[in-house]
Amino acid sequence: MKKYRVTVVGATGAVGLEMIKMLESRKFPVKSIKFLASKRSEGKKLIYKNKDLPVELLTKNNTKNTDIALFSAGVEVSKEFAPIFVDNGSFVIDNSSAWRMDKNIPLIVPEVNPHDLKKDKKLIANPNCSTIQMVIALKPLHDFAKVKRVIVSTYQAVSGAGQKGIDELKDQVKIWRNIEDKKRLEINPNKKFYYPIAFNLIPQIDIFTENGYTKEEMKMTNETKKIMGDSSIEVSATCVRVPVFRSHSESIWIETEKHISSEQAKELLSKASGIELLDRPEKLKYPMPLFAENTQVTYVGRIRSDISTKNYALTFWVVSDNLLKGAALNAVQIAETLIKNKLI
């Protein structure tokens, strides 16, 4: 089997570390691997296949001799360096939002639209984490009954805000445990979350736009249309940050053009790639972030017909590890698909 020269950009971040784990655990055909990051991480050591490998500074001199570059270093870094890697002959799979809505850049979830990958499209966007798990569940239902409308509420883990989000929740939980004066959990504009996140819900992820939706909510709307290849699908999202360390949950309502029963939906989802159906309410079996952590599938459960409308509508619950299928795993699967389809 042919092997490939791989570079991980943003290797020391939460998603970068998971990318490295996914490359190793999925036995990706790596010929050589290089870890790049910012100045503050230069010289650190990361483990790959029981070997300590140094983290190098991301510079233009480090953009050559790479077949596949996995990026998780933020919008500005991607805008500056991704085109340089591409010019040097590399495929780039970028986890930031920099390129997602560019009409010339494929936005890929391998279980949904692998056909959008092309040999001459070397820059590839990895979708938003909450969008990925939703479209995986929508795909088999859309193919059967054509989804017309989606209303989704997300319950997103703090790891979606990076390591600072994780640390903030940990610190605030310690405060709650060790002191009686809860006033220390006050509004702090210098923190990752403006309001305390411990034992709280924050109905805002990213900044608000002119229409009253946040950027995160509009990502779900716009990215869904692009990935599904159907601009007629209407999507309205409400995105909420919750005090969970890892794995996003979503409550999804769909209206379809054709009737689809809950039993038909369960059958379709049980056979769909990347999905594990967990829907046995009589046994109290349903998806939860606690059990989705560190797993490589998207869980779907609580599937039921909507009793509030005479239209064809279903509602269901979706949970997936946001650092894996929502980011690192999906990126590695895109690289695997490039190889499988002989595009690289």
- Alpha-carbon gap, residue 86 to 262, rounded angstroms: 45
Residue 129 annotated as catalytic? yes
Instruction: Quickly count: other Cβ atoms within 10 Å of residue 79's Cβ.
Output: 13
Using the structure block, give the residue that is written with the tokens 């490039």. Answer: 338
How is residue 119 written in tokens? 């040999």
Give the right CATH number for 131-322 from 3.30.360.10, 3.40.50.720, 3.30.200.190, 3.40.50.880. 3.30.360.10
| Active-site residue (options: 115, 129, 239, 259) | 129
Residue 239 annotated as catalytic? no
Average pLDDT of the segment spanning 280-306: 97
Give residues with Cβ within 8 angstroms of 38, minimum separation 6.
Answer: 57, 58, 73
Residue 191 confidence (pLDDT) above 90:
no
Name the pLDDT band for 291 (thresholds 50, 70, 90). very high
- Alpha-carbon gap, residue 230 to 227, rounded angstroms: 8
The DSSP secondary-structure symbol of 326 reads I
| Active-site residue (options: 115, 239, 248, 259) | 248
Domain spans, the chain: 4-127+327-340, 131-322
- The three-class DSSP label of residue 317 is strand
**Residue from 103, 79, 102 nearest 92 by CA:** 79
pLDDT of 219 reads 98
Name the pLDDT band for 183 (thresholds 50, 70, 90). low
From residue 274, how far is each of 39, 126, 128 by CA, in Å?
37, 16, 17
Instruction: Quickly count: other Cβ atoms within 10 Å of residue 55's Cβ.
Output: 20
Which range (32-36, 181-185, 217-221, 303-307) has the least confidence?
Answer: 181-185
- Alpha-carbon gap, residue 245 to 159, rounded angstroms: 6
- The three-class DSSP label of residue 252 is strand
343 vs 185: which has the higher pLDDT: 343
- Alpha-carbon gap, residue 100 to 103, rounded angstroms: 8
pTM: predicted TM-score of the whole model, two decimal places = 0.95
Give residues with Cβ within 8 angstroms of 313, minimum separation 6.
Answer: 253, 254, 255, 256, 305, 306
Residues 148-177 have pLDDT tens digits of: 999 999 999 999 999 999 999 999 998 887
Sheet holding 275-277, edge to edge: 234-241, 147-156, 248-256, 313-320, 298-305, 275-277
CATH for the stretch 4-127+327-340:
3.40.50.720
Residues 213-223 have pLDDT tens digits of: 999 999 999 99
Q: Which helix (H) or strand (E) holds 70?
A: strand 68-71
pLDDT of 278 reads 98
- Alpha-carbon gap, residue 334 to 112, rounded angstroms: 11
How is residue 248 written in tokens? 């996003």
**Residue from 58, 34, 38 nearest 46 by CA:** 34
Residues 307-328 have pLDDT tens digits of: 999 999 999 999 999 999 999 9
The tally of CA atoms less than 13 A away on the side-chain side of residue 140 is 18
Using the structure block, give the residue that is written with the tokens 């999925």. Answer: 26
Average pLDDT of the segment spanning 29-33: 98
Sheet holding 51-57, edge to edge: 45-48, 51-57, 30-37, 4-9, 68-71, 91-94, 123-125
Name the pLDDT band for 184 (thresholds 50, 70, 90). low
